[in-house]
Structure 1
Amino acid sequence: MMMRSKKIKLLSLAILSIGLSQNALAEDHWKLFLKNAYIDRDFDNDAVKDTGSWSQAISLFYDSKFQDTPIDQLQIGLDANVQYAVRLSNDKHAADSVLPFDAQSQKQASDYAKFGGAVKLKYKENVLKVGEIWSDSPVANIDASRQLVGTYLGGTLSSTVNDHLSLELGVLSKYSARNDDQFRKLSYTQNGNKIQSDGMSYIDLKYRVNDQLKAAYSFAHLENIFNKHYVGLEHNYALNADTQLNSKVRYFNVQDTGSIAAIDSQNIGVIETVKYKNHTVAAGVQKIVGDAFPALDGYIPELYFVNWNVTGFFKKNEQTYHFIYGYNFKDYVPGLNALVKYSYGEKIKLADGIENNESELNLIGAYNFQHDYLKGMGLQYLFAKYDTKYGNDFDENRFFVTYTKKF
């Protein structure tokens, strides 16, 4: 109880200290975010413990406008945030990847908090950030899929070279997972061996060929572990006022750098999406060539895969087919959207040489309230049914109630 009271006190002081500066920076951007999350995973195998929890989070985000400095055209700013979550349900004594879990005592934390910030400098079309990094890169993503957001520690330099080309350079030293209140070294676990890295350096290049075609290339070096290349192409084409086509081709190549990890993996993905009025239909194929794709510890997602699910369809030699149908109910219930996704993965090579397969069905619904008094409030629901030939099947339900207030 004393530790929890201390965390709440620190949270209150942090929010108060940020709030006191608001008068001086009235034109800056603030966002209050509330998230109530219920997550439950029910395994078909009675020998496997079910996981999940019910929690409430409150977060405050601050994004300052750039202020002039004595140096001509050099401006400075600050980003900061406070995130806090408390468990409302009983402790199931199981790791659910939502709140911190002590494997030794088999206890889940009753609450936890994250504090972060970054100093930013702007010179012409170049922005340097140092501190907590919310990376949106094909080689380094943040995770907001559960409760509090997983982020990095490091620095980035973003630059708009011209109307067609932009680039970003990044150095990331540590990562704070979605269920952790500490920044820890980036690491990768293979065959039970955890390999730590002193950091990742990367470069992102984005090139707009024309209004319809975009190209991207990224390279990341994770010290002591691997090098990762990414190439992406995206094409948009409007058949008419009601029908648009979107085509994506994405390729990843990851090779070890001579560490104790043995990594030789490629991911090739293609997805075609057709939008007609309120309907969205998509079909895609994703192929893993070689080893299982090396997902880093800490549940760091690979959001640039053409197929990223509740479970990871990136096992050794796996080939995945996925189909999506979405509908926007804006003509009947404004703010309501629904989506169905089915993924089937085959040709998975297990350690003993046996071939496995797996499938996942997702049903997703989201509603954003339209009434003036309820603006900023949203509901999201996800149902996932996972089946595999060799392994543990499960059903998962996620229900979120969110509220966002910008000021």
Structure 2
Amino acid sequence: MKASHKTKLLSLAILSFGLSQTAMAEDHWKLFLKNAYIDRDFDNDAVKDTGSWSQSVSLFYDSKFQDTPIDQLQIGLDANVQYAVRLSNDKHVADSVLPFDSATQEQASDYAKFGGAVKLKYKDNVLKVGEIWADSPVANIDASRQLVGTYLGGTLSSVINDQLSLELGVLTKYSARNDDQFKKLSYTQNGNKIQSDGMNYIDLKYRVNDQLKAAYSFVHLDNIFNKHYVSLEHNYAFNADTSLNSKVRYYNVQDTGSQADIDSQNIGVLETVKYKNHTVSAGVQKIVGDAFPALDGYIPELYFVNWNVTGFFKKNEQTYHLIYGYNFKDYVPGLNALVKYSYGEKIKMAGGIENTESELDVIGSYSFQNEYLKGVGLQYLFAKYDTKYGNDFDENRFFVTYTKKF
């Protein structure tokens, strides 16, 4: 571990210990370990395979709100430290898991992240300033590989009434999953990297009734684009064993007239039927206009009705996908499996060429039920990607995790 990382870890440990002495048993701690093996094998011998084997240890601290001298105003603190070390040999190729130096073509042997946020609560309003773990249709964190990508900034969430909730956010920087630094938000278009001074967003969620929910979000990414998001979600229970969930989601992204040139829409519909332990889903997603502008740093779009290992959001792309999941709780409690197939067509490429792509995902997860192994989990992902024009690959991800709350 680098000396600077040791200093950061020690400083946070001292800070966290001091907080634990004041808040005592009301605080929450979580220890999280992840052993991650990820390998992407390209069919094209001219393309280097990517992947690594690494181990992480993370400690998360979540203080309960404490009273202040001001009536109904409470204060708290969230803090965390994350550290990962590479166990495999350096393949000298970027794999988006650990930091990579493009100049020396070397992958870091280890890296660390640390952060925290002060939080204030007044009645049903919560203000957070510092490191933000965003969960919004227009800003998400990324926990799909090893360490988690997060933002710097602030959010204000408020419960207006029983039906309406609001969140305002100002995010200035982002630390990618394979980076130990916070950097400006950016978008790369045609090889040109455009930086932004920050992202401002508003999220509104409205519960029409017990079955129907609506949401609207707007984000202004300075110097790059404005994005609108609208969604409707309906749940209907036929009986105790069978239910239908319907989602309609729409994005509209337009450039702000500065350096970027963006005119893109995403329309998605997903129908999901649950019957006892079975889950079956079918959906379609259509990109209208330009490829959807995914930001640099592997920031995911988790609110798409179709989000895969690869991005099915290319120019004019239309995607169909089928999902089948099964919960083995009646036979092997803790075991779940899922199979997903996606097919994208009408992708507009240079010269008027149309491309197609497909992806098959097989996912399994198991949480140990034994008292002595409680908190240990296994996850496996196999992804097979094929495209008419491009590079096909097979990918395997295997995670062993351990979670301890205290």
| TM-score, structure 2 normalization | 0.98
2:244 corresponds to 1:245: yes
2:99 corresponding residue in structure 1: 100
Residues 140-159 of structure 1 aligned to structure 2 (within 5 Å): 140-159=139-158
User: What letter corresponds to residue 189 of structure 2 in structure 1?
Assistant: Q
TM-fit CA distance, 1:5: 5.0
- SS of the residue corresponding to residue 25 of structure 1 reads helix
Deviations along 1:51-87, one digit per CA (max 9) or x if unpaired, are: 0000000000001011111111111100000000000
Residues 121-136 of structure 1 aligned to structure 2 (within 5 Å): 121-136=120-135
Deviations along 1:281-302, one digit per CA (max 9) or x if unpaired, are: 0000000000000000000000
Q: How far apart in 1 are the matches of 2:118 and 2:17?
A: 18
1:323 corresponding residue in structure 2: 322
User: What letter corresponds to residue 46 of structure 1 in structure 2?
Assistant: D
Deviations along 1:68-116, one digit per CA (max 9) or x if unpaired, are: 1111111110000000000000000000000000001000000000010
Whether the 8 Å CA contact 1:74–1:122 is kept in 2: the answer is: yes
1:340 corresponding residue in structure 2: 339
% of aligned pairs identical? 86
The change in CA–CA distance for 1:72 and 1:16 in structure 2 (over 3 A counts) is: closer
Q: How far apart in 1 are the matches of 2:387 and 2:76?
A: 50
2:177 corresponds to 1:161: no
1:270 corresponding residue in structure 2: 269
Q: How far apart in 1 are the matches of 2:278 and 2:11?
A: 48
User: What letter corresponds to residue 4 of structure 1 in structure 2?
Assistant: K
Moved more, 367-376 or 304-313: 367-376
Q: Please list every run of at least 4 consecutive aligned residues from structure 1 whose deviation after the TM superposition is greater than 4 angstroms.
A: none
TM-fit CA distance, 1:256: 0.2
Q: How far apart in 2 are the matches of 1:335 and 1:147?
A: 23
Whether the 8 Å CA contact 1:212–1:237 is kept in 2: the answer is: yes
User: What letter corresponds to residue 14 of structure 1 in structure 2?
Assistant: L
User: What letter corresponds to residue 131 of structure 1 in structure 2?
Assistant: G
TM-fit CA distance, 1:260: 1.8
- SS of the residue corresponding to residue 352 of structure 2 reads coil
- SS of the residue corresponding to residue 90 of structure 1 reads coil
Q: How far apart in 2 are the matches of 1:260 and 1:21?
A: 46
1:209 corresponding residue in structure 2: 208
User: What letter corresponds to residue 338 of structure 1 in structure 2?
Assistant: A
Q: How far apart in 2 are the matches of 1:370 and 1:302?
A: 32
Structure 1 unaligned regions, length at least 5 = none
2:72 corresponding residue in structure 1: 73
Q: How far apart in 2 are the matches of 1:153 and 1:4?
A: 23
Q: How far apart in 1 are the matches of 2:349 and 2:395?
A: 25
Residues 183-222 of structure 1 aligned to structure 2 (within 5 Å): 183-222=182-221
The change in CA–CA distance for 1:65 and 1:166 in structure 2 (over 3 A counts) is: same
2:210 corresponds to 1:174: no
Q: How far apart in 2 are the matches of 1:222 and 1:333?
A: 47
Q: How far apart in 2 are the matches of 1:136 and 1:193?
A: 28
- SS of the residue corresponding to residue 157 of structure 2 reads strand
TM-fit CA distance, 1:13: 4.8
Whether the 8 Å CA contact 1:69–1:76 is kept in 2: the answer is: yes
Whether the 8 Å CA contact 2:254–2:262 is kept in 1: the answer is: yes
Residues 224-235 of structure 1 aligned to structure 2 (within 5 Å): 224-235=223-234
Q: How far apart in 2 are the matches of 1:288 and 1:98?
A: 28
TM-fit CA distance, 1:261: 1.1
User: What letter corresponds to residue 201 of structure 1 in structure 2?
Assistant: N
Q: How many residues align?
A: 405
- SS of the residue corresponding to residue 13 of structure 2 reads helix
Q: How far apart in 1 are the matches of 2:190 and 2:365?
A: 39
1:24 corresponding residue in structure 2: 22
Q: How far apart in 2 are the matches of 1:92 and 1:5?
A: 25
Q: How far apart in 2 are the matches of 1:260 and 1:292?
A: 16
Whether the 8 Å CA contact 2:8–2:114 is kept in 1: the answer is: no
Q: How far apart in 1 are the matches of 2:14 and 2:129?
A: 24
Residues 343-362 of structure 1 aligned to structure 2 (within 5 Å): 343-362=342-361
TM-fit CA distance, 1:9: 5.4
Q: How far apart in 2 are the matches of 1:19 and 1:352?
A: 61
Q: How far apart in 2 are the matches of 1:229 and 1:250?
A: 11
Residues 289-328 of structure 1 aligned to structure 2 (within 5 Å): 289-328=288-327
TM-fit CA distance, 1:330: 0.2
Q: How far apart in 2 are the matches of 1:57 and 1:5?
A: 18
TM-fit CA distance, 1:35: 0.5
TM-fit CA distance, 1:152: 0.4
TM-fit CA distance, 1:131: 0.3
TM-fit CA distance, 1:309: 0.1
1:15 corresponding residue in structure 2: 13
Residues 354-373 of structure 1 aligned to structure 2 (within 5 Å): 354-373=353-372
TM-fit CA distance, 1:7: 2.5
Q: How far apart in 2 are the matches of 1:24 and 1:253?
A: 47
Q: How far apart in 2 are the matches of 1:304 and 1:10?
A: 34
